[in-house]
Structure 1
Amino acid sequence: MRQILLVVDVQSTFSPPNWLVAGIERVIEYIPSIATIELHDEVHTPFQSQLGWRPAAQDTCLVVPDQVFVKHSYTPPAEVLAYLKRFNPDRVLVCGVQTETCVLAAGFALFDAGLHPTLVTDLTVGSSLDRSGQLGVRLWEHHFRNTVSSDQLLAGFD
């Protein structure tokens, strides 16, 4: 199966737990991967004026994928979708930070682009609303059905 991993916003601004970073790094060893980092640009997305909060204007990805893309909103930019379409995957594995917001938004963007999003359920954390990420996992299952654990994913590489 041709698959690629999309890592969403695993960056300093969002203080991901060490187990998440380590788990993603383990998967990256076996599967092609890209990542997004969210950087603040009030012209693109009015985080500060509407929410009173903003991500950092500069940040770094805490994992080392094949390529990193910058985004300025909840959804991945068009360059990410174009890159993934050129890769022509059977499915796009998705993991990262804020399961019920940015990760879910990535799922909708992938779906709308004709790609097949699959959530890696044990490599995601939620926002401060639900740090466990379970709300996002349930929403993902409702909208896209496809989920997998990192152990299931890596079982084929043993």
Structure 2
Amino acid sequence: MRQALLVVDVQPSFDPPAWLVEEIDALAATLHSVATVERHDESVTPFERQLGWKPGPADESLVRTDALFVKHGYLPPTAAIDHFCALGAERVLVCGIQADTCILAAGFALFDAGLRPTLLPWLTIGSSLDRSGALGERLWRHHFGAVIASRDELVSGGPYQ
């Protein structure tokens, strides 16, 4: 199965732990990888007005990837989804930050495009509501089913390889 990696919002505004950045960076070097970064533009997404918070206006991804797409809001940009389709990817491994919001939104966008979104929960953290990411993982399993539970399963050719 042709696969690629989507790294969601691993950027300074979300203060990712160093271990997360290092482990995702190592995986990103082994297959085609794409990152999204959330940048603030109040005229596009009213984070500050409605939530009293905003991501940085110039954040960059902390993970080195083959392609980078800027987004404003929860969904990945259409250009990122089109990129995976143009690659001929069948399955997109998803990891990063905000398991219960932005990562879940990416899953829906990938699914709707006919791709097979697959969560890597050991490389995913949640929002401030549930930093563990467990809520996001439960929602992911409910909506998409495809979860690779550990690095060993990914390396050993687990059920979704």
Task: Indicate the residue corresponding to 1:152 in structure 2.
Answer: 153
1:26-105 superposed matches below 5 A: 26-105=26-105
Letter in 2 for 1:145: G
CA distance in 2, matches of 1:150, 1:79: 29
Unaligned runs of at least 5 residues, structure 1 = none
Flag as ranges the 4+ runs of structure 1 deviating above 3 A: none
Asked if 2 retains the 8 angstrom alpha-carbon contact of 1:8 and 1:36, the reply is yes
The whole-number CA distance in structure 2 between the counterparts of 1:6 and 1:31 is: 10
| Cα distance in structure 2, aligned partners of 1:151 and 1:132 | 20
TM-score (normalizing by structure 1) = 0.95
Counterpart Cα distance in 2 of 1:146 and 1:94: 10
Q: Percent identity among equivalent residues?
A: 57
Q: Who is 2:116 aligned against? A: 116
Following superposition, the deviation at residue 114 of structure 1 comes to 1.1
Count of residue correspondences: 156
CA contact (8 A) 2:29 2:65 kept: no
Other-structure match for 2:131: 131
> 3-state DSSP class of the match of 1:59?
coil
Whole-angstrom CA distance in 2 between matches of 1:150 and 1:48: 37
Q: CA RMSD in A?
A: 1.0
- Following TM superposition, by how much is the alpha carbon of 1:143 offset from its aligned partner in structure 2, in angstroms? 0.4
2:23 corresponds in structure 1 to: 23
TM-score, structure 2 length as denominator? 0.94
The DSSP-based 3-state class of the residue aligned with 2:13 is: helix
* Structure 2 unmatched ranges of 5 or more: none
Deviation at 1:64, TM superposition (A): 0.2
Cα distance, 1:26 vs. partner? 1.6
- For 1:44 and 1:151, how far apart are their aligned partners in 2? 40
For residues 19-38 of structure 1, what are the alpha-carbon distances to aligned partners after superposition, in whole Å with 9 as ceiling and x for unaligned? 11111012112111000000
